[in-house]
């Protein structure tokens, strides 16, 4: 295949772009690809971290009560100002320790609990695992309330589900 731009060298860089279900392909030689890259880099760039920080900074200010003490993560040292500036949390502990982040996460994601994605082939097993976890919590609550008959029923349900998992 020959370069689409210079029509002399063999094309070694293949670029595919899909926008609004419209597919566009370019096949360029190495020299033309470098020129195209320079032209592309000269244009305006959008850094997603800075974009999110710009959105989150004002949102955090709205969510923060005036009498609240400033946040600083004990684990990584991230401050509220750093989060507002960069739009990134420092570690997993930040999610647990930064209480004022909960309303913002709920507004952005619809939940404060990360659920992630589960592969199609694992969904059934994943649901069983979640159900076992829920039943264990319910079992613990039943034991604490001394509802031993309900606890026995829950124990049997957990065993039945666990036998399906193995």
Q: Are residues 131 and 159 in the same domain?
A: yes
Domain total for the chain? Answer: 3
Most confident of 38-42, 119-123, 135-139: 135-139
Dump the DSSP string for 13-24: EEEEEEETTEEE
Q: Is residue 127 part of a domain?
A: yes
- Residues 44-102: pLDDT tens digits? 555 555 555 555 555 555 554 555 567 788 888 888 778 777 777 777 777 777 777 77
Query: Between the CA of residue 98 and those of 31, 32, 76, 87, 93, what are the distances in Å?
Result: 50, 49, 12, 14, 8
| Residue 129 and residue 159 in contact, taking contact as beta carbons nearer than 8 Å | no
Q: Are residues 54 and 105 in the same domain?
A: yes
Q: Are residues 22 and 53 in the same domain?
A: no
Handedness of CA 147, 148, 150, 151 (dihedral sign): positive
- Residues 33-55: pLDDT tens digits? 888 776 555 445 555 555 555 55
Q: Are residues 54 and 99 in the same domain?
A: yes
Q: Is residue 115 part of a domain?
A: no
| Residue 54 and residue 86 in contact, taking contact as beta carbons nearer than 8 Å | no
Q: Is residue 36 part of a domain?
A: yes
The helix/strand/coil state of 64 is coil
Handedness of CA 85, 91, 92, 94 (dihedral sign): negative
What is the pTM (predicted TM-score) of this model?
0.35
Q: For residue 160, what are the domain limits?
A: 120-165
Residue whose C-alpha is closest to residue 83's, from 107, 58, 108, 66:
58
Residue 157 CA to residue 163 CA, distance in Å, equals 10
Residue whose C-alpha is closest to residue 63's, from 113, 92, 101, 93:
101
Q: Are residues 21 and 64 in the same domain?
A: no
Give the CATH number, domain containing residue 7. Answer: 3.30.60
The helix/strand/coil state of 25 is strand
């Amino acid at each position: 295949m020959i370069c689409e731009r210079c029509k002399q060298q063999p094309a070694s860089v293949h670029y595919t772009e899909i926008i609004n279900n419209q597919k566009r392909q370019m096949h360029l030689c190495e020299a033309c690809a470098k020129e195209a890259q320079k032209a592309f880099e000269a244009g305006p760039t959008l850094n997603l971290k800075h974009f999110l920080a710009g959105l989150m900074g004002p949102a955090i200010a709205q969510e923060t009560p005036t009498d609240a003490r400033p946040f600083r993560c004990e684990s990584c040292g991230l401050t509220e100002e750093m989060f507002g500036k960069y739009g990134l949390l420092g570690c997993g502990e930040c999610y647990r320790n930064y209480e004022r982040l909960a309303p913002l996460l709920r507004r952005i994601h619809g939940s404060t609990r990360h659920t992630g994605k589960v592969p199609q082939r694992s969904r059934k097993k994943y649901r069983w695992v979640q159900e076992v976890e829920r039943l264990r919590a319910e079992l613990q609550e039943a034991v604490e309330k001394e509802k031993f008959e309900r606890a026995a029923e829950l124990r049997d349900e957990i065993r039945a589900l666990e036998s399906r998992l193995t």
